[in-house]
Structure 1
Amino acid sequence: MSKKWFILSVIILMYLPVSIDATVLHVAAPQLGVALGATGSELLWIIDIYSLVMAGMLLPMGALGDKIGFKRLAMLGATLFGLASLAAALAPSVAALITARAALAIGAAMILPATLKALRQTFSDERERSFALGIWVAVGTGGAAMGPLIGGLLLKHFYWGSVFLINIPIILTVLLVTAMLIPRQDYHREQTWTLSQALVLISGILLLVYAAKSGLRGSADWRITLLALLSGVGLLFWFVRHQLGSAKPMIDLRLLTSRVIAVGALMAMTAMVALIGFELLLTQELQFVVGKTPLESGMFLLPLMIASGVCGPFAGWLLSRWGLKPVAAAGMALCSLSLMGLALTDFTTQSYLAWGWMILMGFSVQASLLSSTTAILSSAPPEKAGAAGSIEGMAYELGAGLGVTIFGLMLSGSYAAAIVLPSSLPAALAERAGASIGEAVQVAGMLGQDQAEVLMAAARQAFTAAHSLVLASASVMLLVLAAVVWYIIPKRTVPLMVH
């Protein structure tokens, strides 16, 4: 094996746990919530903190790599990722696990640009670089798609922390090989690096998410919720204003003045919201309602994983044959149709029908993501390709994080409205059991057998009704977006002139 292909194998090994960790907790969520006694809101924080923090840290970590060299950045990122994995596996509480997941995201935000820069510097031949980049993309999408299955396999034999412990031997191998065999890369000490803008962006996003979660749950002080909401809006307003007025912005938001680029970013976010949100929702349905194990839940998701992984070339062929506008609108419309079909499907008795809808969803999400990339890059001027790619990358990660948040909040609200609790249940326990099905399982463990069975029957019935309502609502929203896409995207896209 030549040296450059050996370097590619190291890049893949380093990037793989980063992509897997985005979704590996989906099948572990029910078990994790019971083990740590997490509320529904806390469980959402554990899962979505990874993508939300990573979205805000990707760009400044890329600039840091330019300043110190991407080999050093990769070593720092891998070290932090390994230590955070150990901390997450041994976390004694919800707060400790959320903190560890945030640290994991910072390490991942270092690793991702480091691997991409190393790939570009290693492969000078355009054809070889394209092939290597295709492998890198496949590892990213494939790792995220296979995360639930890997989590299910581990949870069949080990405790929930094993989904983090598997990162450690991989990271140790990567650190050793990188230190000994990967050459140093170019760096530019004069490169400016500002972390404050990223921290403002992340803080604004997290404050808005906190306000949404605490406001919907209703148990938090309304004054704290309002303060978080206003603070989040204020920080994001300052961030946007600063970016628009800066000579060297972290994100070139002026690109979003192009309606096509703005819709492309919205499509990327929406497609990821639908995919990640549905995965999380379905794994809870399969385990809490249908009674499947984590491994069986991961296996049930295989058609969705395979379809989203292998349909890319076909979606690309459709784009080249029919153009951006019809493929983008059709992708959103078919995703809407698949969600409505899944909303009307009984996962206990209609497995084959569910798999058929999931295959359609996997294809339509992939077509939407490919269309969003085409829309963004085809409408940006060549000198702004890097900035356009940054907007796309952030849209992906924000969509993944917001998918957990949006679907989780809709599910919690619908579940709380639908559940009919046993009248004999004490008020304190009734409040917990009515908040989420995970908390209902925790409460059932404190009750006698007969009372526990009555409670769980009510919880399962409410969750199924909430599940259907959330998917149907998401379907309607995607259908509206499909109409917007059809109306806004022109037959031919023209690059935007940004000065």
Structure 2
Amino acid sequence: MLRQWYILAIIVLIYLPVSIDATVLHVAIPTLNQELQLSNNQMLWVMDIYSLMMVGLILPMGALGERIGYKRLMLTGALIFGLSSLFAAFSTSANMLILARAVLAGGAAMIIPATLAGLRHAFPDEKKRNFALGLWVVAGGGGAAFGPLIGGILLEHYHWGSIFLINIPIIVCVMLTGYYILPSQQINRNKVINIADAVLLTCAILLMVYALKAGMKHFDFTVLLIGLTGLLMGAYFLRQQRRKAQPLIDLELFSYKPIKIGFLISIFTMVALVGFELLIAQELQYVHGYTPLQAGLFILPFMLAVSVSGIFSSVLINRFGVRKVSLIGLICCAIAFIGLAGTNFSTQQYQGWLWMILLGFWVEATFLASTSAIISASPVEKATAAGSIEGMSYELGTGFGVAIFGLLVSYFYSSKLKISAWMSTEHFELAKGSIGETIQTLSLLDPALSPAIREMANAAFLSAHQYVLYLSSVTLIILTIFVFLYWSDEKAESE
């Protein structure tokens, strides 16, 4: 009896660094830009390669666990996660860090399905299992929500590599205790893993995202060819899934209206959550001069609202249904973005916190409602496949949140930056991509010009941030109208 709680402790412990690493870098961008001289595109890859890689890798890992046993899957994933954390901590270039984050995603993709399988095996009693799953959700949501604060605390006192080194003691503890405490499971050597499909999906996503990022900076035939290749690979992947007896993604589930809409809402809410966190961390440090720790503390009301929402959202969903909660949540998020766009965080801190609390609470409530729609609408025999779709939507939203918000800010920032007359064409090309690149370029110019250029860069970034938030609000309003019209009947939840 006591052993199952030891197993739960191991599972929660290993899941924490996986969830923290999804957001811990948000407050580290200025530090990384300074230390590694990142371009805007490199910065975005460092941030979102973790989630984008997991989109394709996490799906076949459940099957791999059935084939080799979930204990072995978890310990292997922990080992990969630990070694790649070391590699990331001591990276000396942007490409090294991007590669390390990609390998981190491989380890994380093994750990997540292994932890869920471990809970299922360790807690046969439904009530105890629900309690254990609740703690698992708290570890995941809390880790992701408080990642920026943890990053800020570490960056305040230690080298930036410490945000990865904190994973090492956890990994060592899990591997030592897990080896002796985690039970062995029955294995199915005939289980199809679909690694080829996972690689195809991952390549399709990465090529499309690469083309999107490159095209925003310089569009040419090569970029177009890469983007079309990604689209064709994605189309071929979908065609293959329809034909296979054991597909990586069960596309038949998308015939259920709540699953289709829930998948869409889940992606958009995660884009909003991650994208906002990314932008506010940059604004606080670049424009308002906050340290990483101060930035993490300033965002704390947003993090707390996300965490608290998980407690109350289930009550709201049970009372009003997933459709109504989704609609209310989308509208509240749109209103919060409008409020945040008009807030000066230097002089209107309390107003900013109020809008952040509104956004944090309802973006998480909307995400949980969409998750409930996906899981509840799926047939019992396809619950695992529905869970894979939900996990995929989470990672897609996280990855695209960084990419979309980062690219939009870069576009609006470049269009608003009026410093070309203050420097040569060569220096302006280096400086115009992002506020981080502008600050890097200051070291190449006359120091007397720095204050004026910095002031114009701050103004351009604030304007870009405002445009992106307004655009996000309009997008969510359009999505709300679509959901209201297309998902108009509560009976759709049970279709």
Question: TM class, shorter-chain normalised?
Answer: over 0.9
Q: Which moved more, 1:55-64 or 1:45-54?
A: 55-64
Counterpart mapping for 1:466-481 below 5 A: 466-481=464-479
Q: CA deviation at 1:194?
A: 2.1
Equivalence for 1:169: 169
Q: What letter matches 1:256 in structure 2? A: F
Amino acid across the alignment from 1:471: L
Identity across aligned pairs (percent)? 48
- Counterpart of 1:28 in structure 2 is 28
Match of 2:491 in 1: 492
Partner residue, 1:361 = 359
Amino acid at match of 1:199: V
For the 8 Å contact 1:378–1:493, the answer to whether it is kept is no
Q: Which residue of 2 aligns with 1:411?
A: 409
| Bigger mean CA deviation after superposition, 324-333 or 334-343 | 324-333
Q: Which residue of 2 aligns with 1:64?
A: 64
- Cross-structure match for 1:133: 133
Instruction: Indicate yes or no: 2:357 matched with 1:340.
Output: no
Deviation sequence 1:429-448 (CA, Å, 0-9, x none): 11111111000110112323
Q: 1:373-388 alignment to 2 at 5 Å?
A: 373-388=371-386
- Mapped to 2, the partners of 1:235 and 1:312 lie a distance apart of 37
Confirm whether residue 209 of structure 1 aligns to residue 209 of structure 2: yes
Moved more, 412-421 or 181-190: 181-190
Look up the SS of the partner of 2:422 in the other structure.
coil
Alpha-carbon separation, structure 1, partners of 2:462 and 2:422: 23
Could you tell me how far 1:191 is from its partner in structure 2? 1.1
Q: 1:456 is matched with which residue: 454, 457, 476?
A: 454
AA partner of residue 59 (structure 1): L
Query: 2:399 is matched with which residue: 398, 401, 418?
Result: 401
1:330 aligns with 2:328: yes
Gaps of 5+ in 2: none
Q: Which stretch of the first structure deviates more once superposed, 401-410 or 250-259?
A: 250-259
Does the Cα contact within 8 Å between 2:3 and 2:181 map onto a contact in 1?
no
Alpha-carbon deviations, 1:217-245, whole Å to 9, x = none? 11x6x122011111100000000011111
TM-superposed CA distance for 1:422, in Å, is 5.0
TM-score (norm 1): 0.97
- d(CA) in 2 for partners of 1:4, 1:272: 33
Does the 8 A contact of 1:433 with 1:439 survive in 2? yes
* Cα RMSD, aligned residues only: 1.2
Q: Which runs of 4+ in 1 moved over 6 A?
A: none
Which residue of 273, 276, 279 maps to 1:278? 276
Question: Hey, what does 1:103 align to over in structure 2?
Answer: 103
Matching residue of 2:250: 252
The letter for the 2-side match of 1:441 is: I
Give how far 1:284 is off. 0.4
Give secondary structure in 2 for the equivalent of 1:423. helix
Worse-matched range after superposition: 121-130 or 175-184: 175-184
Report the 3-state secondary structure (helix = DSSP H, G, I; strand = E; otherwise coil) of the residue aligned with 1:239: helix
One-letter amino acid of the structure 1 residue matched with residue 458 of structure 2: R
C-alpha distance in 2 between matches for 1:228 and 1:421: 33
Q: In the aligned structure 1, how far is the partner of 2:426 from the partner of 2:34?
A: 18
Matched ranges for 1:176-187 at <5 A = 176-187=176-187
Structure 2 distance, partners of 1:314, 1:121, is 28
Once the 2 structures are TM-superposed, how far is the Cα of residue 283 of structure 1 from its aligned partner?
0.4
Aligned to 1:116: 116
Per the alignment, residue 156 of structure 2 pairs with: 156
Which residue number in structure 2 is paired with residue 82 of structure 1?
82
Q: Distance in 2 between matches of 1:486 and 1:377?
A: 20
Q: CA deviation at 1:257?
A: 2.3
Which residue of structure 1 aligns with residue 240 of structure 2? 242
Equivalent of residue 372 in structure 1, options 370, 373, 380: 370
